[in-house]
Amino acid sequence: MQVNVNVQKFINIIFKATLNYSVDYLQLHFIDGRIKSGMVTDNRGVVTLLDIENDGIIGVTKNDDIVFNFSEPNRKLISFLNLIDEDEAKMEIVEDEKIVIKSGKGARGSVVTFCRESILQNNVLKKSSNDNIPYFHELEITDDILNVTFEKIRKIGTLFGKIYVTIEDGVLYLESSDKNNVHTDGHREFLADNIEIDDLSICFDYPNFCNLMEVLKDSRGSGKEFEMKFAYLRERNGGMIHTTSTDGTEQYFLINRES
């Protein structure tokens, strides 16, 4: 099957589906004129769900049903896409086997093979089951939240490698420190007050949080709005940050880690 690829838009789709390459595997399902993807990291710390318009592969129609499976997409796919100087290139899709990308004089090209779908079976999320999760707060992601509040936590987080969602006396904070060390330094930023839940602190991986920030900055730059929902299941000692676009086409989940 012969199609064209908008190189930068295709790279952007991969960037979102893997949460800035947090996930080492990639499945893109082209169906009904859209791209659907649900990916999970090996340690279950990150989940991504996309149901977005297909503006990356030109020539795939609403009647087509095509699946791309890649392992290590940052190394095995992005490396080849970055060789293309033109905005668009020709792509041949060899079903269940590979893609062949050609561009420039003499139609120089790259061959990128698919991995077996069985390799991805533990990293593909077929459906979401988050509808009944009891969120204790929802936060609109504004430019100030993203570029000031989150940015300060990102800068200081390099010292600790951890991010915490903390509730203390009904106030919700985002902070970075090391709560395993009673003498730790740290910094916290106010998010909201009047939170009706007992005091708690939920730990998340610093790199995952930074990758989420990068994806949000990119998507907001194209006009999308996002909200961030916070959940804690005390009986499981488990917490989650669920970030979703207001149109529901992009969803990103960060799952807590042990502090």
Average pLDDT over residues 128-156: 89
Which pLDDT value is given to residue 233?
87
Q: What percent of the chain has pLDDT over 90?
A: 80
| Cβ-defined contacts of 173-176 (< 8 Å, 24+) | 174/149, 174/150, 176/206
> CA 256, 257, 258, 259: dihedral to nearest 10 degrees?
-80
Instruction: Indicate whether 105 pLDDT > 90.
Output: no
Tell me which of 3.40.50.300, 3.20.20.10, 3.10.150.10, 3.20.20.70 is the CATH number of domain 2-120. 3.10.150.10
Q: Where in the chain is the domain with CATH 3.10.150.10?
A: 2-120, 135-255
Q: Which pLDDT does position 181 carry in this prediction?
A: 87
Topology (CATH) of 135-255:
DNA Polymerase III; Chain A, domain 2 (3.10.150)
Residues 145-193 have pLDDT tens digits of 999 999 999 999 999 999 999 999 999 999 999 988 888 899 999 999 9
Confidence check: pLDDT of 79 > 70: yes
- pLDDT value of position 235: 78
Stretch 57-68: mean pLDDT, rounded?
93
Q: Say which residue the tokens 């570029």 belong to.
A: 147
**Residue 96's pLDDT is what?**
85
In the DSSP assignment, the letter for residue 218 is: H
pLDDT greater than 70 at residue 130: no
Q: What is the reported pLDDT for 129?
A: 60
Asked whether the predicted pLDDT for residue 135 surpasses 80, the reply is yes
Other C-beta atoms closer than 10 Å to the C-beta of 148 total: 11
pLDDT, residue 183, reads 86
Q: What is the 3-state secondary structure (H, E, C) of 71-138?
A: ECHHHHCHHHHCCCCCCEEEEEEECCCEEEEEECHHHEEEEEECCCHHHHCCCECCCCCCCCCCEEEE
Tell whether pTM > 0.85.
yes
Determine the pLDDT at residue 127: 64
For the chain, give the mean pLDDT.
92
pLDDT at 131 over 70: no
Q: d(Cα 115, Cα 96) in Å, to the nearest integer? A: 9
Instruction: Please check the confidence at residue 126 and state whether its pLDDT lies above 90.
Output: no
Sheet strands (E) in the chain: 2-6, 25-31, 34-40, 46-53, 57-58, 65-71, 88-94, 98-103, 108-113, 135-141, 162-168, 171-177, 186-192, 200-205, 226-233, 238-245, 250-255
Residue 122 has pLDDT above 90, yes or no: no
Residue 237 confidence (pLDDT):
80
Does 107 score more than 80 pLDDT? Answer: no
What pLDDT score was predicted for residue 121? 81
As a whole-number percent, the residues of the chain with pLDDT over 70 amount to 96
